[in-house]
């Protein structure tokens, strides 16, 4: 019995295949419809994702994964108000430990800065002098436009080398070549080894080009004569681990500053980049909606396209259904045939659509230099949806035709 069933099925498959290849144009067009439906959805979603990443990366470059640890500025002791000013407990070693001990942290950069008079020739300017480490460039995404930044050896050797901001360059040197020139910070002579790119004012309206960068150890020992720092810039691996990272930083600093035993309040504050994170979250939300909308519309459109093509191509064949039934095909036979035809079309078209969709996404990714990616989810969604519609609208009209009187079906036009 089962043997006969399989033979029947095989025969129907053969009929379906013959039918499909006998009507090459019709088959090609229906196939094309499904291919376009599936690949459009995949490409659209991958473009949306690529654009999202691109836009988010622009915000990220501003420092969304940046946590700033500030040394506390007030010591509140009720009644008395003497211990004013910056606490002296935050050190370069704190930064090193944070970087070494916390897995979510890529780098931790110590910073001590102070506004000072800077002199070159007979020109002076009041400039923010920033002592830091080479990793500052990465953490703040702030690069040199000429010369080079100082390196770790400069720091360890406490060399008197300075990298000047674009504003300082403009005002003190008026665009002259100044690499190798000497600049006096306070009264200490420094050799200029680089000029930073121009960044303009930050979110607070503070001019970021009005700065001079020197190695932190040089700064502490030779310029400021201090042993403590006022900030640590911490770069977390990802904005998702910001909370965990902040909590770990707090634990480590409390332990290092011996605040745990006496249960004293923090002598530092930890700040994420609220504004940036907020903008980033809103951007992510907006894009999620956008991608969802685009995907929804593409699916819908692809679905209707497939539906229309299936309807037309089955409608065209009502005659054929009548003929098959007239020569003795049962309704079941007709249905099986159309189901098989629709399956072959939908599956073939779906698979081709996936291939085209992935290829298209790759092409778009290369052309735009965006990080487009094809998600398994979008592929599945497009495939399942399109194949389901192709199957349904390939079989439903055929079923309707098979319910007709063969004579009527034959006569229909």
Of 114-122, 247-255, 257-265, 337-345, the segment contacting other proteins by CB under 8 A is: 114-122
Tell me the closest approach of the beta carbon of residue 231 to other proteins, in angstroms: 5
Binding to other proteins (CB under 8 A) within 307-326 occurs at 308-309, 311-313, 315-316
- Specify the length of the chain in residues: 413
Binding to other proteins (CB under 8 A) within 321-380 occurs at 364, 368, 370
Mutual angle of helices 2-22 and 24-60, in 10-degree steps: 90
Site string for other proteins, 198-217 (x = CB under 8 A): xxxxxxxxxxxxx-------
In whole angstroms, what is the distance from residue 401 CA to residue 413 CA?
Answer: 12
Q: Is 83 one of the binding residues for other proteins (CB under 8 A)? A: no
**Nearer of residues 289 and 380 to other proteins, judged by Cβ:** 289
In whole angstroms, what is the distance from residue 309 CA to residue 148 CA?
Answer: 63
**Nearer of residues 73 and 247 to other proteins, judged by Cβ:** 73
Site string for other proteins, 164-203 (x = CB under 8 A): ---xx-xxx-------------------------xxxxxx
- Could you tell me which residues come within 8 angstroms of residue 64 by beta carbon, excluding any fewer than 6 positions away? 239, 273, 276, 277, 280
DSSP notation for 222-275: III--S--SEEEEEES-GGGHHHHHHHHHHHHHHHTT-TTTTPPPSEEEEE-HH
Of 6-14, 124-132, 175-183, 260-268, the segment contacting other proteins by CB under 8 A is: 124-132
> Phi/psi of residue 268, each to 5°?
-155, 165
In whole angstroms, what is the distance from residue 340 CA to residue 335 CA?
Answer: 8
Q: Is 271 one of the binding residues for other proteins (CB under 8 A)? A: yes
C-alpha angle 357/363/365, rounded to 5°? 100
Give the Å distances, CA to CA, from 385 to 184, 209, 234.
Answer: 70, 54, 46
**Nearer of residues 158 and 371 to other proteins, judged by Cβ:** 371
Binding to other proteins (CB under 8 A) within 12-41 occurs at 25-26, 29, 32-33, 36-37, 40
Torsion of CA 326, 329, 333, 335, to 10 degrees: 10
**Nearer of residues 158 and 312 to other proteins, judged by Cβ:** 312
Of 8-16, 56-64, 152-160, 237-245, the segment contacting other proteins by CB under 8 A is: 56-64
- Applying CB under 8 A, the site for other proteins has a residue count of 97
Tell me the closest approach of the beta carbon of residue 239 to other proteins, in angstroms: 13
């Amino acid at each position: 019995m089962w043997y006969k069933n399989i033979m029947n099925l095989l025969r129907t498959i053969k009929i379906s295949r013959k039918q499909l290849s006998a009507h090459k144009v019709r088959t090609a067009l229906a196939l094309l419809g499904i291919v376009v439906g599936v690949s459009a959805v995949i490409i659209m979603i991958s473009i949306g994702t690529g654009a999202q990443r691109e836009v988010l990366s622009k915000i990220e470059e501003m420092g969304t994964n940046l946590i700033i640890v500030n040394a506390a500025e007030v010591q509140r002791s009720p009644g008395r108000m003497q211990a004013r000013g910056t606490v002296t407990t935050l050190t370069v070693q704190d930064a090193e430990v944070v970087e070494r001990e916390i897995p979510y942290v890529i780098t931790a950069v110590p910073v001590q800065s102070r506004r000072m008079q800077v002199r070159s020739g007979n020109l002076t300017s009041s400039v923010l002098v920033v002592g830091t480490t080479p990793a500052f460039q990465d953490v703040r995404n702030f690069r040199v436009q000429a010369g080079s930044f100082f390196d770790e050896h400069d720091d360890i050797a406490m060399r008197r080398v300075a990298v000047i901001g674009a504003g300082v360059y403009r005002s003190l040197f008026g665009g002259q070549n100044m690499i190798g020139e000497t600049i006096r910070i306070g009264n200490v002579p420094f050799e200029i080894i680089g000029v930073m790119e121009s960044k303009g004012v930050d979110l607070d309206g503070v001019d970021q080009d009005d700065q001079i960068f020197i190695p932190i150890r040089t700064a502490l020992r030779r310029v400021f004569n201090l042993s403590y720092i006022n900030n640590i810039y911490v770069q977390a691996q990802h904005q998702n681990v910001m909370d965990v990272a902040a909590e770990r930083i707090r634990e480590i600093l409390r332990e290092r500053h011996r605040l745990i035993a006496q249960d004293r309040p923090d002598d530092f504050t930890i700040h994420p980049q609220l504004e940036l994170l907020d903008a980033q979250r809103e951007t992510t939300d907006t894009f999620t909606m956008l991608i969802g909308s685009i995907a929804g519309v593409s699916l819908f459109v692809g679905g209707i396209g497939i539906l229309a093509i299936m309807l037309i191509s089955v409608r065209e064949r009502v005659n054929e259904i009548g003929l098959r039934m007239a020569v003795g095909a049962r309704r079941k036979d007709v249905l099986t045939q159309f189901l098989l035809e629709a399956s072959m079309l939908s599956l073939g078209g779906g698979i081709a659509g996936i291939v085209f969709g992935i290829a298209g996404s790759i092409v778009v990714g290369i052309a735009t230099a965006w990080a487009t990616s094809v998600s398994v989810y979008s592929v599945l969604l497009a495939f399942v949806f399109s194949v389901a519609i192709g199957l349904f609208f390939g079989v439903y009209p055929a079923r309707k035709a098979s319910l007709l009187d063969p004579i009527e079906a034959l006569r229909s036009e």
